[in-house]
Amino acid sequence: MIKNISIPTKPKRKFVAQNLIIDSWNKIKPFFEDLLKRKIKSVSELEQWMLNRSELEAVLEEDMAWRYIKMNIDTTDKVLAERFHFWIKEISPKISPYSHKLNIKLINSKFLKDLNKKKYHIYLRNVKKQIEIYREEN
């Protein structure tokens, strides 16, 4: 007897548009700017900010990963290679400085101390390490 199998679905995005096509830096820069400029007035707003940032990062990582996978599935397709190289040359270098600024914003938040220590310990340790090793020239 076969039991019903539940296949998980992608969660609905709440911050980044579902149909976002990343074909220029200008399509994603506003998300970074929003996170950078957003006023955080409570621990719940800080957690929402963190969720929005996480969603943005997941969308970007998935897009880059699919470009890489598709390029390697068909190594003769020049368009797929160009799409991946566009990401490496035009998108990736611009993400890093914003990520650093967002890390600083998080660590400097006056609500950081109110976050659940057990829940966020490893994440915050990683953010602090990223700040420590960040070099603008890289």
Query: Residue 47: what pLDDT?
Result: 97
Cα-flanking dihedrals φ and ψ of residue 67, to 5°?
A: -60, -45
Mean pLDDT, to the nearest integer, of 25-36? 98
* Cα distance between residue 133 and residue 130, in whole Å: 5
Ramachandran region of residue 6, left (φ > 0), alpha (ψ -120 to 50) or beta?
A: beta
* Cα distance between residue 60 and residue 72, in whole Å: 19
Residues 6+ apart with CB under 8 A from 98: 32, 36
> Considering only CA atoms, which of 71, 64, 61 is closest in space to residue 89?
64
> Considering only CA atoms, which of 8, 14, 18 is closest in space to residue 34?
14
* Cα distance between residue 34 and residue 60, in whole Å: 16
Residue 43 has pLDDT above 70, yes or no: yes
State pTM to two decimals: 0.89
Residue 15: exposure state from Cβ atoms within 10 A (0-12, 13-18, ≥19): middle
20 or 7, greater pLDDT: 20
Residue 1 has pLDDT above 80, yes or no: no
Per-residue pLDDT band for 11 (boundaries 50, 70, 90) equals confident
Which residue type occupies 109?
A: S
Least confident of 65-69, 104-108, 117-121, 133-137: 133-137
Query: Residue 8: what pLDDT?
Result: 83
Residue 42 has pLDDT above 90, yes or no: yes
Mean pLDDT, to the nearest integer, of 69-82? 95
Average per-residue pLDDT for the chain: 94
